[in-house]
Structure 1
Amino acid sequence: MAKLKDKRREKMSVATEIDRLEERRARCRDNLERAEFKSRKEELSDQDKQYLEDEMTIINERVLKLDKELKTLRGENRKNMLLSVALLVVGAFFYYVFFYNEVDS
């Protein structure tokens, strides 16, 4: 199962993966806000409070994990962008050297 997920992720672009993770993080934050609101507004038994606190802890851990993955993907996206700019500069340089200089001769 994990190998199938990895293969699917390999086919996705970095930008698509970033968007997907940001959506998941937003959903987790919404769930966390709902749980916090529920804990403040409702009178809960000790067992329900403990369950809600455990749920909030799990959601916080998920958010931190997603933030870490997003940081990694954004770094990879930055590297890809720099590589693209470098290739554009090299291409422009070769165009200038081989084509623009021939017109001047």
Structure 2
Amino acid sequence: MTKKKRENLGVALEPETPIIPAAPEPALLQEVVQGASLQNEAELGTQWVISIDGLEEKLSQCRRDLEAVNDKLDREELSPEARRCLEKEQNSLMSKVSNYEKELKLLRQENQKNMLLSMAIFILLSLVYICWTS
């Protein structure tokens, strides 16, 4: 759908320039988890936060756009072509929301695994320090 058609239909447009950097691709995230692309843990933590925040922002924008499309479909009399176009946009937004939710779930699971691993390492090092200094 072109920008002009969207404006005529009153569908919310996606921002021209993203406010938050785009989330890395899942394949890149897998490399990050394995330590292949980032050297230190501070960069890794920052990358996860940016990825989760970016996906949450995209998800909320898609939900707002979906709500606007649903309102437009429910409240206004539309020509068959305009209705078809909005329904197509609605399906597209619903699939985007679904994909973003899946990616966000995976990121949160990886984040939880990393947090548990960090806690285990911290506890292990604390025990070694306590045993060493006793």
TM-score, normalised by the number of residues in structure 1: 0.83
For 1:36, which of 55, 70, 90 is the aligned residue?
A: 70
The C-alpha deviation readout for 1:33-72, integer Å capped at 9, x for no partner, is 0000011111100110000000000000000000110111
- Which residue in 1 is equivalent to 2:94? 60
Q: CA deviation at 1:15?
A: 2.0
Q: CA deviation at 1:16?
A: 1.7
For 1:19, which of 34, 53, 62 is the aligned residue?
A: 53
CA distance in 1, matches of 2:95, 2:48: 23
Count the aligned residue pairs.
96
- Which residue in 2 is equivalent to 1:49? 83
Greater Cα radius of gyration, structure 1 or 2: 1
Structure that is richer in helix per residue:
1
After the TM superposition, which parts of structure 1 deviate over 6 Å for at least 4 consecutive aligned residues? none
Q: CA deviation at 1:14?
A: 1.3
Gaps spanning 5+ residues in structure 2: where?
1-23, 33-37, 39-45
The C-alpha deviation readout for 1:49-98, integer Å capped at 9, x for no partner, is 00000000000000000011011101100011001101110111011100
1:90 corresponds to 2:124? yes
Query: Do the aligned partners of 1:15 and 1:77 also contact (CA within 8 Å) in 2?
Result: no
RMSD: 1.9
Gaps spanning 5+ residues in structure 1: where?
none
The percentage of aligned residue pairs carrying the same residue is 36
| One-letter amino acid of the counterpart of residue 73, structure 2 | S
Structure showing greater relative contact order (alpha-carbon pairs closer than 8 Å, 6 or more residues apart): 1
CA distance in 2, matches of 1:82, 1:29: 31
CA distance in 1, matches of 2:128, 2:60: 45
TM-score, normalised by the number of residues in structure 2: 0.66
